[in-house]
């Protein structure tokens, strides 16, 4: 079979899968679904009111030609798409954004995403956990960069272990579909479709208990880039009150 035929078939399969996207990639809606998600994160190490863990991961793509190509080159020096994911404690992908260029900062992707608007409109009773690349807000808690008290130390300990869920999700997802780890050679528009389709297939596998061993898998950056506007006064005050009450 010729390469063009294989590419066409893969695109048709991806489009057929994406027609069912809303059935397989979705945030919890009902009170019961949200309570279940919150309970799942609480079971990790006792962090309350977390409904999702958020982070971005780079998926390698071929070098783009022309002036636009430079914008796909990430901080590690290769061309990529920077893909934002929100996952639950079962490592299921509940929200995904897969069209931003590799040089785009994680915080910009979140700031322009629909999932941020939904949290701002109070659609969910819980909050997200993110790394220091995001601004701290009432609905997205980040780590304390310089903890000074035992309570802040305890908060950071619980935050890191609970947020690690999304790093494990990336690791398992890429282990399940090695093209996410090694990179794509397909046309850019098709690659964006394939990434979301593979997120759907990952969720289907998790739903059917087709599990992979995630021991030793970690997709995090050793030193995440600090968000320059990470001093949101309302967010910091909300986080401080949460720490005082729960730790």
- Quick check: helix, strand or coil at residue 2? coil
pLDDT at 1 (0 to 100)? 84
Residues ≥6 apart with Cβ < 8 Å to 144 = 152, 155, 156, 239, 243
For residue range 1-37, list pLDDT tens digits in order.
Answer: 888 888 899 999 999 999 999 999 999 999 999 999 9
Q: Which residues span the domain enclosing 83?
A: 3-246
How far, in Å, CA of 111 to CA of 117, rounded?
Answer: 8
For residue range 170-181, list pLDDT tens digits in order.
Answer: 999 999 999 999
Q: Are 148 and 75 in contact (CB under 8 A)?
A: no
pLDDT at 74 (0 to 100)? 95
pTM of the model: 0.91
How many domains does one find in the chain? 1
- 79: exposed, middle or buried (C-beta count within 10 Å: 0-12, 13-18, 19+)? buried
**Average pLDDT score over the chain:** 92
For residue range 32-75, list pLDDT tens digits in order.
Answer: 999 999 999 999 999 999 999 999 999 999 998 888 899 999 99
């Amino acid at each position: 079979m010729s390469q063009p035929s294989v590419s066409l078939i893969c695109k048709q399969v991806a489009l057929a899968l994406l027609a069912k996207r809303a059935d397989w990639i979705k945030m919890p809606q009902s009170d019961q679904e949200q309570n279940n998600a919150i309970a799942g994160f609480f079971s990790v190490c006792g962090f309350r009111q977390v409904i999702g863990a958020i982070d971005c991961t780079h998926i390698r793509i071929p070098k783009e030609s022309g002036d636009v190509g430079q914008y796909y080159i990430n901080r590690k020096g290769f061309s990529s798409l920077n893909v934002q994911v929100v996952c639950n404690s079962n490592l299921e992908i509940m929200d995904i954004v897969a069209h931003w260029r590799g040089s785009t900062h994680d915080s910009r992707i979140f700031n322009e995403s629909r999932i941020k608007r939904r949290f701002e409109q109070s659609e969910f009773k819980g909050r997200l956990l993110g790394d220091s690349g995001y601004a701290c807000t009432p609905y997205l808690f980040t780590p304390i960069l310089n903890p000074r008290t035992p309570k802040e130390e305890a908060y950071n300990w619980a935050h890191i272990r609970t947020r690690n869920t999304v790093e494990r999700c990336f690791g398992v997802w890429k282990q399940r579909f090695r093209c996410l780890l090694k990179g794509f050679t397909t046309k850019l528009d098709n690659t964006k479709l394939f990434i979301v389709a593979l997120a759907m297939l990952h969720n289907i596998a998790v739903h059917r208990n087709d599990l992979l061993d995630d021991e030793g898998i970690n997709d995090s950056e050793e030193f995440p880039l600090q968000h320059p506007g990470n001093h949101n006064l309302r967010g910091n005050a909300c986080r401080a009150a949460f720490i005082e009450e729960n730790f």
